[in-house]
Structure 1
Amino acid sequence: MKTQILKSANKNLILSGLIIVLLLIGLTIQADNNESKSIKIALLLDTSNSMDGLIEQAKSQLWTIVNELAGASCDGKRPELQIALYEYGNDWLSPREGYIRQVTYLTKDLDLVSQKLFELRTNGGSEFCGQVIKTSLDQLDWNESHDDLKLIFIAGNEPFTQGGIDFHDACYRAKNKGIVVNTIFCGDFNEGVRTNWKKGAEITGGEYMSINQDCRTVYVSSPYDDRISELNSKLNDTYVSYGKTGYEKKQNQAAQDANATSIDKVNAVKRSVSKASHVYKNESWDLVDAAEQEDFEIAKVKEEELPAVMKGMNDDEKVKYVETKKKEREKIQKEIIELNTKREEYVKKQQTENSSETVLDDAMLKAIKTQAKSKNFKFEK
């Protein structure tokens, strides 16, 4: 009798344990499904002497690429965008590191990416494609998620086989980590095939493309540009800097507005549109974005780390001030997005037949949209 009771008790314990395990698995799956996906892009740029045109295209087309990616969604949610930047093939870089430098880690800070792009300078050197791919795999936080879209874009014009790291090994390693390598040859398509750029992409199921790196970006002005530029200035006024780097980051925001304008006024308009989108987030230095984070408490921000206008406020006054700025920002962003819809319609009508020349943003966006389908990402247009 006692044996039967013990067996029954053990069965109940086992069943209870199984139920708990299944519940925990269900909760884990539900939590995973609730998490927003990410788009992680590492851009590896050849900065040897002949690549001035490539760098100019990267600077002038960053915001076009960002705006397209801002239209992405997955399972009804907007993904987080992170961009990393590497330069390689530059004699100013350390030969011990393979003439390779991590310019930025994977970051949401788009102002930082813009700043670093504008700081790039070309100089002759040796271009080691396999090594720069391997370095980006080793150094960046790609994470283990199979749902994120993880892409490497490498652009250059020398044989893909140069250097001591075999590109086959680097690309197969990327494939095993769920990272797609896309190759962009700056020059004749067939030459890129002959020098193994196509093979580098094929290993991971990526795209091989060739571009004319010396082709200049063509901009089309619209009647809406002046108003969007005006709204951009008002948008900047809604940023409430805090923390040790707050002032510096806010200054950099204005500096990157100026950098965008230095390329073309329309390029600055495109940056303004990016700043009105969900991918432009600065919670590390802006109180409005920080207040959106679940674990953020404004009462915990030290008095000395607040902007001058907020010093001396009590907690309720601080919350009210930030909320007011948030409402101002949302109103401005809404108008920018509405004006941009009209701007895009106008530009589409004004544009003549597209040039046959493929440039950096064309190549990148084609690959991104193709590869995003496998991860269930969709784009607005």
Structure 2
Amino acid sequence: MVRLYLSLAVVVAACGDSPSSVPSSDAPEAVVDAAMPDALDERVDDPCPATTACPVPPSLTRGAGLVAIDRCAFPLAPTTTDYAGTIAALSLKLDRVTMADVVADVNRTADVVSAGQVPGSAPGVKSAFRWNSGDESVAYWIPQGITGSFDGTATGKVGDRKVVLVSWYYDKDSDTGSTVEKGVRIAVVDVTNPADVKYRFALLVEPTGSATAPSYKSVPIHAGGLAWVGDRLYVPQTGTGFRVFDLAHILKVDSLDDRIGFDAASGTFAAHGYQYVIPQVQRISSTHACQSVFSFVAYDRTSTPPSLVTGEYDSATIQGRLYRWPLTESGALQLTKMDRVIPSAAYFMGESHVQGALARNNTWWLSSSRPTGSAGELVRTKESTTSVRLGWNDSPEDLAYDPQRDSVWSLSEGLNARYVFDAARASISP
């Protein structure tokens, strides 16, 4: 990733609202630097023809392992929208803060629970919590994706704090009387002390307007997964690809009104009552006809090069696919000289109802809601190898691996049963 440096001074402040080895920035720089696409010299030769036929699903057997397919059928490409000037302008009008500032400003307290209180049969649970009563019972904000400083920073921490991020999407139809899409909020959770977990929310936004009249809007996507890589937060957009958000340009708004963007009458910026916004810096979308679905995402630092893994939720068949997307040393998706991102691998899963996937040293774990009722299971699998089924939490969602604790983080979405936990990897490994 290259950066365009503009000599623009910023003031940094943080206060509260009402209740691999890719480095991440811990402090604002002395200038406003806006993320830009990769430079040409970081690109690689394109390994694929311009077009490739969509793979036809073979006869698949549940539990028989992954089936490799032609990766060339699934190219992505960045869109041409350049948000750099607008983000720089917003950084002049609003205080730019760091992730450390947000973590220091947590304003909600989670309900810490014991391993035995996590519904389901996940083995080896090491720590767990629920959200506060209001967030447990709210019907129109629903938790989905998970990542953390264990993905995002070389030390696994932000300063001296261990942080988990969880995405929540807004369901307007469940919010009686609402006429607006509020998009996605990110819970920034301080889990440094598992016995005392606190958090607060920031809103994902897409910059709008111009460098002379900047604003932003909400991002109405499902956000079924998260991957924090350096200063980038990757969020899957179900039928499209990735939206990428800039964690080096978190902004503190100057109004807590329940509206979005700049209001000319008051001269202030708001984010539906949230104090902080995280701006979108890039979109990367499918450029093929094979109808890839981006239901979840995880970061795999054990692959060469490190990669993002994504997959497709499919409740009707076992033909959902998995993909591995290579990253550059800076944590950007690897572009070819044809301006494409080509997966380094693609598979049919041979499983249904998959809500999250994690890969480590070519072993894959898939969280599935296939069991009857709200029960979940964890499937451990490889290519052409009989899968192993393990117990897991009820109403399972995304997965993330924490190398510092050698554990797997996951969560559940059920109303009044929203648990976040980490389980020892040894308990789910051969």
Q: Which has the larger radius of gyration?
A: 1
TM-score by length of 2: 0.19
